[in-house]
Chains A and B, each alone.
Chain A
Amino acid sequence: DAEITQSPRHKITETGRQVTLACHQTWNHNNMFWYRQDLGHGLRLIHYSYGVQDTNKGEVSDGYSVSRSNTEDLPLTLESAASSQTSVYFCASSDGGQETQYFGPGTRLLVL
């Protein structure tokens, strides 16, 4: 069965370190998204991609970067982790048509 996976599922890091969260999908979807979920803010879009070599900034992109070198993967990098980036991170993918987004299981990140 097609799926979308994220790793690691839990991560503790220190302020200032670079962190990369992996997202891998086997749906063969062109569109991929990264969100963060925080209490009181719901889901907020960080970055998204409509295909290989395409990346776009979402509403909370500062301090984050992505690259898309193949269809299956969209890694999210925190260049210099800050305590404000402690959150749950979700990756999602979608295809054409109604563009339903299917989500990975999430990564809990704690920045100390």
Chain B
Amino acid sequence: AQKITQTQPGMFVQEKEAVTLDCTYDTSDQSYGLFWYKQPSSGEMIFLIYQGSYDEQNATEGRYSLNFQKARKSANLVISASQLGDSAMYFCAMRVFHAGNNRKLIWGLGTSLAVNP
């Protein structure tokens, strides 16, 4: 079954420290993509970072990096130097094929991150 699991419903981190948000996935597809999105309390969904299944290097975008371990089927998000504005819900998602050549995103249930001053 194609599935995304985020095992941490809630996380706390001290401002300026690094934090890792866990994401494990399950798919039999050879080609897939992994995404992280941020949803602040205002409600919008903000794309953060992408990792393709064939990408050998871990993706980085500013303070965000994706720790991709293909053999372990994990795609953890690392936020360095946390800021108060990082307090939000974070979703991991996986792009997979379904119904032939159609593609869709499978979503995890999210991790709520609170950054303490």
Contacts and interface: CB of A to CB of B under 8 A. Distances in A.
Interface of A: 40-45, 48, 50, 56, 58, 88, 90, 92, 98-103, 105-106
Contacts of A90: 45
Contacts of A88: 43
A45 B44 CA distance: 17
Contact of A42 (B35, B44, B99, B109): B109
Contact of B107 (A40, A43, A100, A105): A43
Nearest to A90: B45
Nearest to B46: A103
Interface of B: 33, 35, 37, 43-47, 50, 52, 91, 93, 95, 99, 102-105, 107-110
A99 B44 contact: no
Contacts of B104: 45, 48, 58
A49 to B, nearest CB: 11
B33 to A, nearest CB: 6
A106 B35 contact: no
B99 A100 contact: no
A93 B56 CA distance: 27
B47 A45 contact: no
A104 to B, nearest CB: 8
Contacts of B102: 48, 50, 56
B45 A103 contact: yes
Given A40-B109, A43-B91, A100 B43 contact: no
B91 A45 contact: no
A101 B43 contact: no
B26 to A, nearest CB: 16
A42 B47 contact: no
Contacts of A101: 35, 47, 105
Contacts of B47: 100-103
27 contacts: A40-B109, A42-B107, A42-B108, A42-B109, A42-B110, A43-B91, A43-B93, A43-B105, A48-B102, A50-B102, A56-B99, A88-B43, A90-B45, A92-B45, A98-B95, A99-B33, A99-B103, A100-B47, A100-B50, A101-B35, A102-B47, A103-B37, A103-B44, A103-B45, A103-B46, A106-B43, A106-B45
